[in-house]
Structure 1
């Protein structure tokens, strides 16, 4: 742990204040912001991308799928590597790969090149949020950890709120311009190389012992429940909100990319606001109860989107989704980092992110394929999928909360 971080940890021990003088904090926040940029920045541009390369809805959904796919398989191994050789040696190269791969898409001349570079960018993005949250667990403890976790979630929400606006505005110039924005990852990598110090960690055990301990934790009922919840959250979020909804709004309301970006930003506005209060909210209910309540908010939001007669009502309904996101993600991350010691923390977070990426990968493909293949029009299919997923998620949240309260 760096000297500045030690001073801050000692001066702020037992408090809920944010350690503003800790250089690690800014690298953590910046890495998290890179991690959520990859989809929310370009979601509003999907209709323009569809037109530029004359794609079907299922094909344009691959722009998200090939980005999230590497994380499904790589993140657990990246977590293991970070636990073995150190966080710093892993996160810095990932930031450079993310920035180079993403910015390169702006110069692609075919859809095949777009997909190849998105896959490369996805490799870089695969564990950025994972390692950022792991570093929070490494550098901070107790109430301060909850405060930083909530603040990190708030920053994620703020960034995700701004990215659709930025992406929509840049997409109005040309479909390729938003991808240049990904080059900021290179700058963050340079800052991390200068400012981030390696946190203290327990001496690594043998690989066999490490994997055995990780397996023992992963099969605990609490871990299985958390992994299942995070898969569902991101399957629905990326399938319904980030992929199907932009295409639906473009077809039914004839909205531009900037208008779509403004509506999608409602999720992140609400999420950022709620996450910033997580330190207080976490004292009101247990983390599993908060996850269940978040599911109630998700289901309510999706049903509201299904019923919405205009884009304004869609945006209002998405606020509820953001509220759910703002309490679910910090609750899940806090649970994961407290389940294990520092030696296993990155590996456990890697498994968490692998499930997250699996949901991100399958959601867009499932929603666009079912809507294209199973219904007369894709718009009609999206509407049916919104109500079905909304009902399932809502009932899951209500049932889970009642069981937990008993």
Structure 2
């Protein structure tokens, strides 16, 4: 593997750490800081809010001034702020540092996919998007497991994992080096061309699909799955004498989801070559719906773990496919902005999702949260199936 790809993959593996490492710790954090369980999602929301507020500017900066000039400071901010979260003693300071960490995180996923777009073209690009998602999923497997192991000792320890961003920043500072595809337009013309291109109906529909994915994932799965598993299956876990390892089991369940994401994404190029964008995306959203419905319809732990894997299948198909759509539809020299749009939309979904699902939970129960997520997926599947995603369509 060349040094550029290794640097990109290191960034990719880190990009989800801000959410997936912390998710197994949420119930313990709520207890330690006396947070109402209906408000537990704000720990995730503070992080995603930081990404949302600065994300619109990241594509322009990356396209005009360079990927590496944005990447290195972003990694340092992410690592330092994440470490600071573990040192806090109040909800207010935790939310502050989570917000700052989100600012650092805002460009990471966008930059890794933008750099792959710079280096590869055509079907090879889709294949490497799949590989990149596989690397992402490896991070999603390892970080929940590590988070679950560490939180068994203290809720603070998972935050300290963020410090791994600092050596990753040093590596990329030393070794990342390739010809970046930047724009030569002035800022005014760049923004004018960008806004004109965003009126493409397919761009808006791709954004809708992306938003839907992360309303479901950020709201139902990442925020409430750990709480659901704890409330519903604690007697089962305790009957095996594993009550002290409950958070580890939660981390394992999330890692099972992530492992399936990686397995599917690794074969994404071949899957697209056989079935095409519209069938792959439609199947992904029907899979989301089935998995979320299964969560709330069973009282068997084994079926819930199967639903985690099934959810990973849908997510592994949907997310890199939507990224590939944005790079396919992006005008020359605007790839970073299109991928920033992709990142911005999913961060908005990831921010609003916990708030929406917390509202549902406060009025109803956890089953209602998962039913709503399943219902949201159905129209998205129909849109994916009926849209012609070809660039020249």
Aligned to 2:31: 51
Aligned to 1:67: 47
Please give the alpha-carbon distance, in whole angstroms, between the structure 2 residues aligned to 1:280 and 1:33.
23
Q: Does 1:361 align with 2:351?
A: yes
Contact map agreement 1:102 1:182 (CA 8 A) in 2: yes
Aligned to 1:197: 177
Contact map agreement 2:25 2:147 (CA 8 A) in 1: yes
Aligned to 2:240: none
TM-score by length of 2: 0.93
- Give 1:388 shift: 2.8
Residue 107 of structure 1 aligns to a residue whose secondary structure is coil
Q: Does 1:391 align with 2:375?
A: yes
Q: Does 1:88 align with 2:68?
A: yes
CA RMSD, Structure 1 to Structure 2 (Å): 1.6
Aligned to 1:17: none
TM-score by length of 1: 0.90
Please give the alpha-carbon distance, in whole angstroms, between the structure 2 residues aligned to 1:115 and 1:395.
34
Aligned to 1:325: 315
Q: How many residues align?
A: 379
Q: Which range is displaced more, 329-338 or 249-258? A: 249-258
Contact map agreement 1:143 1:279 (CA 8 A) in 2: yes
- Give 1:253 shift: 1.8
Aligned to 2:126: 146
Residue 86 of structure 2 aligns to a residue whose secondary structure is helix
Residue 324 of structure 2 aligns to a residue whose secondary structure is helix
Unaligned runs of 5+ residues in structure 1 are 1-19, 376-380
Q: Does 1:253 align with 2:233?
A: yes
Aligned to 1:7: none
Unaligned runs of 5+ residues in structure 2 are 238-245
Q: How does 1:252-331 map to 2 (within 5 A)?
A: 252-254=232-234, 256-331=246-321
Please give the alpha-carbon distance, in whole angstroms, between the structure 2 residues aligned to 1:112 and 1:287.
44
- Give 1:311 shift: 2.3
137 and 402 in structure 1: CA distance in 2 versus 1, 3 angstrom threshold: closer
Ranges of 4+ aligned residues in structure 1 off by more than 4 Å: 402-405
Aligned to 1:334: 324
- Give 1:402 shift: 5.6
